[in-house]
Amino acid sequence: MDFKRIFDYARETDAILIVQGDENSVDKTFFYLTGVSGGLFEGSALIVKPDDLKIITSALEEETARQTGLEVIVANGRGDFENAVKENLKDANVVGLNYSSLTLEQYKRLLRVIPDKEFIDVSSSILESRRMKNPEELSRLRKAAKIGSEAFEKVIGKLHVGMTESEVASELAYEMMKLGASEPSFSSIVAFGENASMPHYAPGDRKLKKNEFVLMDFGARYKRYCSDITRTVVFGKATEEMKEMYNIVFRAQTESMNIIKENVNGRDVDLKARKVIDDSKFKGRFIHSLGHGLGLDVHDHPALASSFDFPLKENMVVTVEPGVYIPKVGGVRIEDDVIVKKDGFELITTAPRDLIEVS
């Protein structure tokens, strides 16, 4: 990882301090800058300078940390840790902190440990740096998308009458991990029939019946990078109404995806999909934004939304996920992951996009 790039957006700082808390206050920037794919690194830190990056960690993570090739300082206990932070920031006057991932407790401790420093918030600078992916990040994202796509194709062959939404979710997790994922990138959404009208539905014990929609929203995490895919299939035979709903969503996705390229405004991509749906009988039933950034987080940054005015940049990775939702009837969503290119896009999800009727 080229850690120097982060200073392109944070020139006013002498150094950046990234502090890891426990599992509930993990700063993904630690893994973004080091590229490390293993370990937990709770209670660790990074000292980032324009020409230097050091990891401060415990003996528990020393071996994993040294695999990065970066300088590693092993701290035995809190006193050692605090002394290492002070020593390595002694020549810095202005220290950047990622306020968006820092707890109040961590901040108060830093005020005590290095009280002579001026702290400034560099969270927006970090976000800006993380938007565009480097070749290694793109490789991991392609692999995560491939794993998720292949898992979907395996799972639809297992659908049968009477299986529950939770069973399908567990099959998705099993297949993704069998294909190389470390874990699902988020809790999978599996919704049968009328439950598919709720975009953020949690799978339960609803049993599968013939001739209804099965909506699956899932993703694989590979070396910490995420995919996010949605497919809606029909278990049995699709009615004309179901085909019409699916075809409108498919058209909205295709037409909006086809205008993606560098310097196109994400807002315009969203509006393209929204117009297709609102010009149909399903007007007003597309009830969320078209897509978001993808990376270490499933929702890595805003990207394709009518309320977000931002030109797309080469090597951003975004989802494209229009949907139509009719309460008490059901819903259709199709979601794919794409890499923004200078003159277009690269589709990295490979699962079939046409309507599938599973017999």
Q: Show which of 84, 101, 130 is a domain's final residue.
A: 130
Residues 177 and 54 in one domain: no
Render pLDDT for 91-114 as a digit per residue (tens, 0 to 9): 999 999 999 999 999 999 999 999
Q: What is the DSSP letter of 187?
A: P
Look at residue 171 and tell me whether its pLDDT is greater than 80: yes
pLDDT of the residue at 2 = 67
What is the signed CA dihedral for 243, 244, 249, 251, rounded to 10 degrees? 100
Per-residue pLDDT at 167 exceeds 90: yes
Question: Does 195 score more than 80 pLDDT?
Answer: yes
Q: Are residues 353 and 210 in the same domain?
A: yes
Number of domains in the chain: 2
Q: What is the pLDDT of residues 328-351, one digit of tens each?
A: 999 999 999 999 999 999 999 999
One domain for residues 315 and 170: yes
Do 114 and 227 reside in the same domain of the chain?
Answer: no
Do residues 114 and 139 share a domain? Answer: no
Q: What is the domain-level CATH number for residue 119?
A: 3.40.350.10
The strand pair at 94-97 and 15-19 is best described as parallel
**Last residue of some domain: 130, 156, 188?**
130
Shared-domain flag, residues 125 and 193:
no
Q: Are residues 199 and 259 in the same domain?
A: yes
Whether 349 and 247 map to the same domain: the answer is: yes
- 222 and 117 in one domain? no
Cα separation, 344 vs 339, in Å, equals: 9
Last residue of a domain, one of 114, 130, 146: 130
- Nearest by Cα to 39 from 69, 64, 72, 75: 64
Domain ranges, residue 336: 135-358
Q: Over 90: is that where the pLDDT of 23 sits? A: no
Q: Once rounded to an integer, what is the mean pLDDT over residues 214-238?
A: 98
159 and 121 in one domain?
no
Ramachandran category for residue 307: left, alpha or beta (phi over 0 → left; psi -120 to 50 → alpha): alpha
The answer to whether residues 346 and 229 belong to one domain is yes
The domain spanning residue 236 has which CATH number?
3.90.230.10
Q: Enumerate residues 6+ apart whose C-beta is below 8 A from 115.
A: none
Q: Which of left, alpha, beta for 100 (phi over 0: left; psi -120 to 50: alpha)?
A: alpha
196 and 241 together in one domain:
yes
Listed residue (51, 42, 44) closest to 15, CA to CA: 51
Relative to beta strand 71-74, strand 52-57 is: parallel
Tens digits of per-residue pLDDT, 292-302? 999 999 999 99
Indicate the pTM of the whole model.
0.95
